[in-house]
Amino acid sequence: MKQYSEMDKKEMKKELEALRLEYDKYQNMGLNLDMSRGKPCKEQLDLSMEMMDTLYSGADLTCEDGTDCRNYGGLTGIRECKVLMGDMMENNPDNIILYGNSSLNVMYDSISRAMTHGIMGHTPWCKLDHVKFLCPAPGYDRHFKITEYFGIEMIPVKMTPEGPDMDEVEKLVSTDEAIKGIWCVPKYSNPQGYSYSDATVRRFARLKPAAKDFRIFWDNAYCIHHLYDDNQDHIIEILAECKKAGNPDLVYKFASTSKITFPGSGIAALASSLNNLEDIKTQLKNQTIGHDKVNQLRHVRFFKDIHGMVEHMRKHADVIRPKFEAVEEIFKKNLSGLGIGEWTKPNGGYFISFDTLPGCAKEVVARAKKAGVTMTGAGATWPYGKDPQDSNIRVAPTYPSLADLKVAAELFTLCVRIVSLEKLIEGK
């Protein structure tokens, strides 16, 4: 079939009429499918159930250093779990603080601490006239919600397959002292599934910020979340690059086991320079006596080491790989050659990014919802929920069953075709 834009108005209307009849059939199916968030499915959660058997009433809950995990103490976490998370994050365990189940919570705390008490002796952000943050877009909506909640001005930065547009980042960061940070998902980014190139990581490490309290918020959420054994993205380690560049304090690096074990009861971690960690502990010791050491020990006993974790993630990949491939196959079958949409094909992570014709994304999402498929809201991948092109849609394939996902993907592509034709006919 030729591109829709090459059709005359009569051809477009004939095609649209046929597609609307097909859409009516979906509406009559009574669908109720959810593709709105990047949640693990039941089969993925089941992979970690044996972890519940590693600790029991007769188990020894003593750490290698003699710490009793049932009691108070251990502000920064138990050593063996720092080693495990350090191997996952490619960082020295001495440079890690362990938290509860949510890395997003740690990011929120980091922004909150900077607002009320400042970073390493600098003026608290709440006492400044202007505070700004760079937001590579499309990006992660929950990052943007944190900075929006604190009233921080968000500046979109173009995202590319190599990472954020570093010419733009370097220019903005070096010339505006009000810019205090940047959000980053460096590996299998949310939503495109891009991974930062070596050049991009090195340019981040060599930034010369006008603000002495500028920090890179490096959310390495998908560091071991590959879909394939033989085709994996790799990024160079940012803290080591920063140290080499003479910028050891430039980065807060976040990760968690949320999509490895149980999102509701995993382990989050922050890796940074010793200077940053000392600054963070000044606040942390007033906030808690320590996080869940029993859960930390449970994870160590279950995985044993990083090799156990890697093998575990292969099982995750076996569950979700067919889902990503099914979406790709349906998109290709129904949309290729029509000139009305583009999508990414990631090697890992949790999302596929889809771009409609300008001005169509909101209507595509609304049309899918009307027929029983809930997507992430159009615009969510941009600061303030405002996509200037109204074109980006985040597709989350992991949660539905494969059968449901195929139905949802077929319906989604049908909505894309209908809305695109309506837009093109309107412009004729």
Whole-model pTM: value is 0.97
Rounded to 10 degrees, what is the CA torsion of 338, 195, 383, 254? 150
**Residue 270 banded pLDDT, cuts 50, 70, 90:** very high
The reported pLDDT for the residue numbered 10 is: 94
Mean predicted lDDT score pLDDT of the chain: 97
Superfamily of domain 4-44+310-427: Aspartate Aminotransferase, domain 1 (3.90.1150.10)
Confidence at residue 144, expressed as pLDDT on a 0 to 100 scale: 98
pLDDT of residue 35: 87
Quote the pLDDT of residue 247.
98
pLDDT exceeds cutoff 90 at 251: yes
Query: pLDDT, tens digit, for every residue of 275-284?
Result: 999 999 999 9
In this predicted model, what pLDDT tens digit does every residue of 179-226 receive, in sequence order?
A: 999 999 999 999 999 999 999 999 999 999 999 999 999 999 999 999
Task: Give per-residue pLDDT as tens, 17-76.
Answer: 999 999 999 999 999 998 888 999 999 999 999 999 999 999 999 999 999 999 999 999
Across 301-310, average pLDDT: 98
Query: Mean pLDDT, to the nearest integer, of 308-322?
Result: 98
Q: How confident is the model at residue 291 (pLDDT cuts 50, 70, 90)?
A: very high
Q: Could you tell me which residues come within 8 angstroms of residue 134 by beta carbon, excluding any fewer than 6 positions away?
A: 154, 155, 157, 164, 169, 172, 173, 179, 181, 182, 183
pLDDT band at 1 (very low <50, low <70, confident <90, very high): confident
CATH 3.40.640.10 domain extents, the chain: 63-304
Each residue of 131-190: pLDDT tens digit? Answer: 999 999 999 999 999 999 999 999 999 999 999 999 999 999 999 999 999 999 999 999
Residues 107 and 143: beta-carbon distance below 8 Å = yes
Please determine, looking at this structure, whether the domain spanning 63-304 carries the CATH number 3.40.50.1820.
Answer: no
The Cα-based distances of 191 to 138, 142, 212 in angstroms read 7, 12, 30
pLDDT value for 36: 87
For residue 428, pLDDT beyond 80: no
Are 179 and 213 contacting, i.e. CB atoms less than 8 angstroms apart? no
Q: Return the pLDDT at 26.
A: 96
In the chain the first and final C-alpha atoms are separated, in Å, by: 20
Name residue 254's amino acid: F
pLDDT in the model for residue 273: 98
Q: What is the mean pLDDT of residues 314-323?
A: 98
Is residue 373 within 8 A of residue 129, CB to CB? The reply is no
Positions of CATH 3.90.1150.10 in the chain:
4-44+310-427
Q: What is the mean pLDDT of residues 258-268?
A: 96
The model's pLDDT over 69-111, given as tens digits with 9 standing for 90+, comes to 999 999 999 999 999 999 999 999 999 999 999 999 999 999 9
In this structure, is the dihedral angle defined by the CA atoms of residues 219, 223, 227 and 230, taken in order, positive or negative? positive
